[in-house]
Amino acid sequence: MARRYDPERRQRIIDAAIRVAGQKGLAGLSHRSVAAEADVPLGSTTYHFKTLDELMVAALRQANEGFDKVIASRGGLAGPRTELAAELAGLLGEWLAGERTGVELEYELYLAALRRPALRPVAAEWADDLAARLTARTDPVTARALVALMDGICLQVLLTGTSYDEEYARQMLARIIDGAA
C-alpha cells in the first residue's frame, strides 16, 4: 500500500496533543487519544514521537510560544523608554487574559517536568529566554528575580482562580527593579 504524502501530519499530532491535554489533562494524554483527536493512525503518532515524553516536549515547546507571541505583539521589552515594571505587568495581564486553556496547559506541562526529566530542559526555556531578554534592561540576577516573580504571580492566579491584579504586579516588579538600582 502506498503511503499518503502528509507533510502537516507531525504538526497536526502536536496540535491534537495540546487539545487532548487541554480537555483531559496530562492524565488523558496517550498516543491513542492523540491519534484519535488528530484523525491519524496510531502508528503515525509513534512514528513521529517514539515516546509520550517526546510528544509532551513538542507540545510544551509549542505552548511556550504563547507568551513569546504576546511579547512580540507589544514590542515593549526592547524599548528603553518604557517603564519595565509596567510593561511586564501588562504582558502578564494580556497573556492571562488570552486563551486560558493554553496558559493552564503550559503550566501543567511545565509542572509535569518535576516528574518527567525529559521535559525539564524545555520547561526551563521559557524562563531562560525571558531572563535573557530582560538582561538588555537590567542585570542578570534582577532579570532572574523578575522571571521568578512573574512565574509565581501566574501560578497564584491560575491556582486560586483570583483575578489578575495588574497594579499589584507592577508594584511588586518595581520593588525588585528599584531594589537592584
Tell me, what CATH number does 44's domain have?
Answer: 1.10.10.60
Residue 3 in any domain: the answer is: no
| pTM beyond cutoff 0.75 | yes
| Predicted pLDDT of residue 73 | 83
Q: What's the Cα-to-Cα distance from 75 to each of 16, 90, 133, rounded to whole Å?
A: 30, 12, 12
Q: Is the pLDDT of residue 29 over 60?
A: yes
| Predicted pLDDT of residue 166 | 96
Burial (0-12, 13-18, 19+ Cβ within 10 Å), 152: exposed
Q: Is the pLDDT of residue 4 over 80?
A: no
The length of the chain, given as a count of residues: 181
Q: Is the pLDDT of residue 59 over 80?
A: yes
Q: Kindly state whether residues 77 and 165 are assigned to the same domain.
A: yes
Averaged pLDDT score across all residues of the chain: 88
Number of Cβ atoms within 10 Å of the Cβ of 57:
21
Q: Kindly state whether residues 104 and 166 are assigned to the same domain.
A: yes
Residue range of the domain that includes 72: 64-180
Q: Is the pLDDT of residue 179 over 90?
A: no
Q: Which residue has the cell 531562560?
A: 128
User: What is the domain-level CATH number for residue 120?
Assistant: 1.10.357.10
Q: What's the Cα-to-Cα distance from 144 to each of 135, 173, 175, rounded to whole Å?
A: 9, 12, 14
| Predicted pLDDT of residue 82 | 79
Q: Which residue has the cell 502508528?
A: 43
Give the span between the Cα atoms of 68 and 70, in whole angstroms. Answer: 5
Q: What's the Cα-to-Cα distance from 11 to each of 7, 28, 40, 111, rounded to whole Å?
A: 9, 19, 12, 23
Q: Kindly state whether residues 89 and 137 are assigned to the same domain.
A: yes
Q: Kindly state whether residues 20 and 82 are assigned to the same domain.
A: no
Residue 157 in any domain: the answer is: yes
Q: Kindly state whether residues 50 and 122 are assigned to the same domain.
A: no
| Predicted pLDDT of residue 181 | 63
Of 37, 59, 81, the residue at which a domain comes to its end is 59
pLDDT digits over 134-175, tens only? 998 899 999 999 999 999 999 999 999 889 999 999 999 999
Q: Kindly state whether residues 14 and 74 are assigned to the same domain.
A: no
Give the span between the Cα atoms of 66 and 64, in whole angstroms. Answer: 5
Residue 35 in any domain: the answer is: yes
Contact 159, 102 (CB under 8 A): no
| Predicted pLDDT of residue 1 | 41
Provide the domain count of the chain. 2
Q: Kindly state whether residues 114 and 38 are assigned to the same domain.
A: no
| Predicted pLDDT of residue 2 | 41
| Predicted pLDDT of residue 92 | 93
Q: Kindly state whether residues 87 and 170 are assigned to the same domain.
A: yes
